[in-house]
Amino acid sequence: MSELAKLIAGWAQPGRVDWIGMRPSRRDVMETVDVAGISADGLDGDRSRAGKRAVTLIQREHLKAIGSYLGQGPVSPETLRRNLVVSGINLTALKGRKVQVGEAILRFTVICAPCSRMEEALGKGGYSAVRGHGGWCAEVVRPGRVALGDLVQPVD
C-alpha cells in the first residue's frame, strides 16, 4: 500500500450518531426518533428507497457552517431532511467505503445535493449555503438497528 493510500484509509476517531429523523411521505414533517431499523430500503418508516440513496447522512459540524453562510446559528437537522446527523468523523473521507453505523453497514455513494426547497426552508441563498455541506447518500450493505450515540466508523 502506498503512503498516500495509507493516509486516505486512515481516520482519527469514530463518529457518533447525534440525531435520527424520518418522514413518512413527501413533504411530511420530519419525525425525530431515538432508534430506527435500517433495511435495504432505508430507515423503516421513512419514504426512502432502496439503492444508492437509501439513507442520507450529514455532519453536525456542517449545520453550523450552513447557518453561518446565512448569517444565523446552526440550522436544524429537520430543515435539511437528512436521516442521520453524525459528529466527530469526516464523512467525505468515507466516500465509497463500507461504514458501520450502529449495527448496519452502509456504503457512501453520492453527495446529497440540496434541493430547491432549501430556498423555501432557509430563505434567500439557502440553496447555495447547503452546496458542498449537504451530506452523503448511502446504500445499505447490511441491515441493522441504529440508535443515538452509536458509533460510526469504516469497516474496510
Q: Which residue carries 450529514 as its cell?
A: 58
pLDDT in tens, 135-154: 999 999 999 999 999 999 99
Show the domain range for 52.
Answer: 13-154
How are beta strands 84-87 and 55-59 bridged, if at all?
parallel
Q: Which residue do the cell numbers 418522514 mark? A: 23
Half-sphere exposure of 57 (CA within 13 A, CB side): 31
- At position 23, the amino acid (one-letter code) is R
pLDDT band at 132 (very low <50, low <70, confident <90, very high): very high
Query: Measured in whole angstroms, how far is the alpha carbon of residue 21 from the centre of its chain?
Result: 10
- 7, part of any domain: no
How far, in Å, CA of 32 to CA of 55, rounded? 15
Query: In this prediction, what percent of the chain has a pLDDT beyond 70?
Result: 100
Compute the C-alpha angle 95/6/99, nearest 5°.
35
pLDDT band at 115 (very low <50, low <70, confident <90, very high): confident
pTM for this entry: 0.92
User: What's the CATH code of the domain at 45?
Assistant: 2.40.33.20
- Residue 26: exposure state from Cβ atoms within 10 A (0-12, 13-18, ≥19): exposed
Please tell me the predicted confidence (pLDDT) of residue 26: 78
What pLDDT shows up at residue 6?
A: 86
Q: Structurally, how many domains does the chain consist of?
A: 1
C-alpha grid cell, residue 96: 465509497
Residue 125: its pLDDT value, please? 94
Residue 51, pLDDT > 80, answer yes
Domain membership flag for residue 2: no
- In DSSP notation, 94-107 reads GTTSEEEETTEEEE
Task: Name the pLDDT band for 3 (thresholds 50, 70, 90).
Answer: very high
